[in-house]
Amino acid sequence: MNATHPLIRSGLLAGLVGLLLGIAAAGPAQAVPTLPSPSVTPLAGNVRVVTEFRPPERRWLAGHRGVDLAGTPGQVVRAAAAGRISFAGTIAGRPVITVDHGEVRTTYEPVDATLPVGAEVAMGEQIGTLRAGHDCAAAACLHWGLKHGEDYLDPMLLATGDATVRMLPGSAPAEARERAAAREAARRAAAEQQASAGTDVPQGPAPPPGSRGLVRPADGPLTSRFGMRVHPVTGVYKLHDGLDFGTGCGAPLRAIAAGRVTDIYYNAGYGNRLMLDHGLVNGRPMRSSYNHAIRYLVGPGATVQAGQVIGLSGSTGYSTGCHLHFMLWVDGQLVNPEAWL
């Protein structure tokens, strides 16, 4: 199964085979891709996302074109959905498998194939075993990708059962980035002015936890719920992957439960983003994400308590006003936060 992949023959960088959400990649309007359904994550059990999907703003720029899932060497890797194995070979010394699902295809690496090219596979059927060697904070990690043509998609869409994604016309990404850049500049200026004025960080008592023991992450009404919608900035019809809380600019953002800050970074769409790992909550692994903040008051590696103020609401990234976009993962799967708060 050591075939030579066509990407190598054409001289493209092997790393581009990784794959995922490309709404930030400019180009002509694309047909609406239908994602395979039903679908599952390629690793069974409690799946932990070590590195999330971070699409590049341009196809040739740096980014993380997939998700890294923590696993163990030799662990069974499953087909995320029914399809046909279109490639099983080595790229840049790493074993890679590609499964064609029709309009989209998924990739898995580093994975030693157990089926030949051309084999038809069912959802959840073993296609290989995970090999150690991918650089990540686990004994072994599966780099899982999803691609429609030349556009990168977030493979976690398959974990949520999302149905369709409409791609942007060529001019829309640039226009959206310009608007986002202007808003970001305004928010940075506001944050600097607040800091120079010595404004106290709002605290106040944390709201009581809900029926599942989680604290509400922000005050204010829900302004957009989890589910399919047209994005107000980009015009893309896609999954709205969290809850939006309408807040004033600079309003406190609170940790829903005790945990550890795993990452803080800027994303063109999500703006200033913070990731929290809560470990086991009621016996189930849980992670959360806070997005669009003016700034955060804690850093990577910090341990936080339930109800602690960890940041200030803002409008960074693709946003039409100050709010919190809150996301939640349970058992490694993206879920509707409203059912848990």
CATH node for 171-339: 2.70.70.10
Compute the distance between CA of residue 326 and CA of residue 289 in angstroms, rounded to an integer: 6
Q: How many CA atoms lie within 13 A of 70 on its CB side?
A: 14
3-state secondary structure (DSSP) of residue 228: strand
Q: Give the whole-number percent of the chain exceeding pLDDT 90.
A: 43
Residues 286/255, Cβ–Cβ less than 8 Å? no
Compute the distance between CA of residue 134 and CA of residue 295 in angstroms, rounded to an integer: 32
Q: How far is CA 11 from its chain centroid?
A: 29
> What fold, for 3-160?
Glucose Permease (Domain IIA) (2.70.70)
**Which of the residue ranges 151-155, 178-182, 274-278, 315-319 would you say has the lowest mean pLDDT?**
178-182
Higher pLDDT, 184 or 76: 76
3-state secondary structure (DSSP) of residue 109: strand
Highest mean pLDDT among 43-57, 185-199, 256-270 belongs to 256-270
Domain(s) of CATH 2.70.70.10: residues in the chain: 3-160, 171-339
Residues 117/3, Cβ–Cβ less than 8 Å? yes
Residue 254: exposed, middle, or buried by beta-carbon count in 10 A (0-12, 13-18, 19+)? buried
Q: Which residue carries 């709205």 as its tokens? A: 240
Highest mean pLDDT among 4-18, 87-101, 129-143, 149-163 belongs to 87-101
Q: Phi and psi at residue 112, in whole multiples of 5°?
A: -85, 120
Q: Residue 128: what pLDDT?
A: 95
Residue 60: exposed, middle, or buried by beta-carbon count in 10 A (0-12, 13-18, 19+)? exposed
Confidence of residue 161 (pLDDT cuts 50, 70, 90): very low
User: How many CB atoms within 10 Å of residue 167?
Assistant: 24
**Which of the residue ranges 88-97, 153-162, 248-257 would you say has the lowest mean pLDDT?**
153-162
User: Which residues, including other chains, have CB under 8 Å from residue 111's CB and lie 6 or more apart?
Assistant: 77, 95, 96, 97, 127, 128, 129, 130, 131, 142
pLDDT reading at 328 higher than 60:
yes
Q: Phi and psi at residue 286, in whole multiples of 5°?
A: -140, 140
pLDDT reading at 244 higher than 90:
yes
**Quick one: which of 300, 326, 331, 330 has its CA closest to 313?**
326
Longest dimension (CA), the chain: 65
3-state secondary structure (DSSP) of residue 112: strand
User: Which residues, including other chains, have CB under 8 Å from residue 55's CB and lie 6 or more apart?
Assistant: 20, 21, 22, 23, 24, 25, 63, 65, 152, 154
Higher pLDDT, 58 or 41: 41
Q: What is the mean pLDDT of the chain?
A: 78
Q: Which residue carries 């999500």 as its tokens? A: 270
Give the DSSP H or E segment for 195. helix 171-196
Residues 306/255, Cβ–Cβ less than 8 Å? yes
pLDDT digits (tens, 9 = 90+) for 26-37: 333 444 577 888
pLDDT digits (tens, 9 = 90+) for 167-190: 334 444 455 455 545 555 555 555
Residue 327 forms beta bridges with which residues? 289
For strands 83-91 and 140-148, give the pairing. unpaired
